[in-house]
Amino acid sequence: MNTTTLKEVEYEQPEGGAVCSTKYAWARVPPEPAPDERERLKARIRRLLKEKNAVMVSHYYVHPDLQDLAEETGGIVSDSLEMARFGRDHAAQTLVVSGVRFMGETAKILSPEKTVLMPDLDATCSLDLGCPIDEFSAFCDAHPDRTVVVYANTSAAVKARSDWLVTSSCALDIVRALKDKGHKILWAPDRHLGDYIRRETGADMLFWNGACIVHDEFKALELELLIKEHPQAKVLVHPESPAEVIALADAVGSTSAILKAAREMDAQEFIVATDKGMMHKLRQLNPGKQFYEAPTAGNSATCKSCAHCPWMAMNGLADVARVLETGANAVHVDPAIIPRARMPIDRMLAFTAALKNGQPAGALVPHFGAA
């Protein structure tokens, strides 16, 4: 009989935004269904999506089955920015968000009238865990002259304490526009992404000291050795990675930017430094090209993530079917904080939509200035 096991996960807990201590969380490891059960589950989910007026919204890092099924049934596979936009704009009354908790919360903030279900409500994120609201709020209070910009990988309460929300696909544009208007930035929670943005924009930035357990484990020395093995390969790196890894990249960017680079760059081989869940979509969209996983520190016995988020791995077909049938695992966000949490998200979505339509970034900041 298939049983779910538990995995202990280490993550960093900043104290006062600076020094980190090691904390421990856990993640469930769902059993992989047998081939015949897998097909039965997919058929059941397809039927339930129609019956419940529901749509699947899946992240690039979840199991390939959840990515493929989302697209096959009219849903989306994307990064957190497009997941948020798609869920808000889709006509379905129920959103099934396969990813981690902050993605489900963001969907609920943007669509409080909709039912938002998740395969597992305990699927969290080291960046979210490492940025608790009380400590973060005190950090913000100590620096009232700074515009608070937070990454999407945060709780609803942290979003409600911020002025702007960003994802890795729009962070550079938004911070650069704020900097050009004279804003000093308080950034949270990922220190590697924050430092990358600071280097690229020259903005005055003060950092919360969090890290993603996946990207923090990529190591420059091991990556250099892999580059020597594959000298023709281009290196694609997510900006949550350490600076010395980013320095070896041919392209740096969000999951969507990595997909674009793999499609457009003149190369047949790529080394990819992001969650290995991304490999499915990269290979699917680029047949004939070779993709190699960038090495992490340690091996399966000693690495924290081994390049796959343990909480993303908690999403499975059986739980998608279960929540659609029962309505279990509905995401709830305190109604009292939804209006304030929505403000920075709406600013981000309005900014990126206007930028896409050709408006200059600088013109977008005064209207959406810091709260």
Task: Check whether residue 49 and residue 120 sit in a common domain.
Answer: yes
Domain count, the chain: 3
Taking the C-alpha atoms of residue 365 and residue 371, their distance in angstroms, rounded to an integer, is 12
- Does the pLDDT at position 34 exceed 90? yes
**262 and 276 assigned to the same domain:** yes
Burial of 206 (0-12, 13-18, 19+ CB in 10 A): middle
Find how far residue 329's CA is from the centre of its chain: 20
In a domain, 193, yes or no: yes
Task: For the chain, give the percent of residues with pLDDT over 70.
Answer: 92
Query: For residue 234, which phi and psi values (nearest 5 degrees)?
Result: -90, 145
228 CB neighbour count, 10 Å cutoff: 8
Beta bridge partners of 293: 272
Strands 19-29 and 5-15 come out as antiparallel
Domain membership flag for residue 118: yes
Any domain includes 26: no
Instruction: Say whether both 86 and 168 belong to one domain.
Output: no
289 in the same domain as 221? yes
- Tens digits of residue pLDDT in 229-252: 999 999 999 999 999 999 999 999
For the cut 80, the answer to whether the pLDDT of residue 366 exceeds it is: no
Residue 208 and residue 256 share a domain: no
Contacts of 39 (CB under 8 A, 6+ apart): none
**Burial class of residue 288, CB neighbours in 10 A (0-12, 13-18, 19+):** exposed
> Model confidence over 164-198: pLDDT tens digits?
999 999 999 999 999 999 999 999 999 999 999 99
Structural domain that includes position 106:
32-125+310-326
- Single-letter code of the amino acid located at 202: G
- Residue 104 within a domain: yes
Question: For position 15, what pLDDT does the model report?
Answer: 67
Q: Are 151 and 73 in the same domain?
A: no
Question: Residue 229 corresponds to which tokens in the numbers above?
Answer: 């093995």
Range 262-282 average pLDDT: 97
* pLDDT tens sequence across 109-131: 999 999 999 999 999 999 999 99
**Do 205 and 224 sit in the same domain of this protein?**
no
Residues 219, 209 within the same domain: no
Looking at the fold, whether 36 and 119 belong to one and the same domain comes out as: yes
Which has the higher per-residue pLDDT, 28 or 92? 92
Residues 121 and 38 in one domain: yes
> What local confidence, expressed as pLDDT, does residue 311 receive?
95
Residue 11 has pLDDT above 80, yes or no: no
Model pTM greater than 0.95? Answer: no
- Encoded amino acid at 338, one letter: I
pLDDT at 305 over 80: no
**CATH number of the domain to which 342 belongs:** 3.40.50.10800
Whether residues 196 and 227 fall in one domain: no
2 in any annotated domain: no
Is the distance from CB of 236 to CB of 258 less than 8 angstroms?
Answer: yes
Question: Mean pLDDT of all residues in the chain?
Answer: 92
> Is 174 a domain residue?
yes
Whether 22 is in a domain gets the answer: no
- Verify that 56 and 120 share a domain, yes or no: yes
SS3 track for the chain: CCCCEEEEEEEEEEECCCEEEEEEEEEEECCCCCHHHHHHHHHHHHHHHHHCCEEEEEECCCCHHHHHHHHHCCCEEECHHHHHHHHHHCCCCEEEEECCHHHHHHHHHHCCCCEEECCCCCCCCHHHHCCCHHHHHHHHHCCCCCEEEEECCCCHHHHHCCCEEECCCCHHHHHHHHHHCCCCEEEECEHHHHHHHHHHHCCCEEECCECCCCHHHECHHHHHHHHHHCCCCEEEECCCCCHHHHCCCCEECCHHHHHHHHHHCCCCEEEEECCHHHHHHHHHHCCCCEEEECCECCCCCCCCCCCCCCCHHHCCHHHHHHHHHHCCCECCCCCCCHHHHHHHHHHHHHHHHHHHCCCCHHHHCCCCCCC
Among residues 3, 11, 2, the alpha carbon closest in space to that of 212 is found at 11
Considering the domain boundaries, does residue 12 fall inside one? no
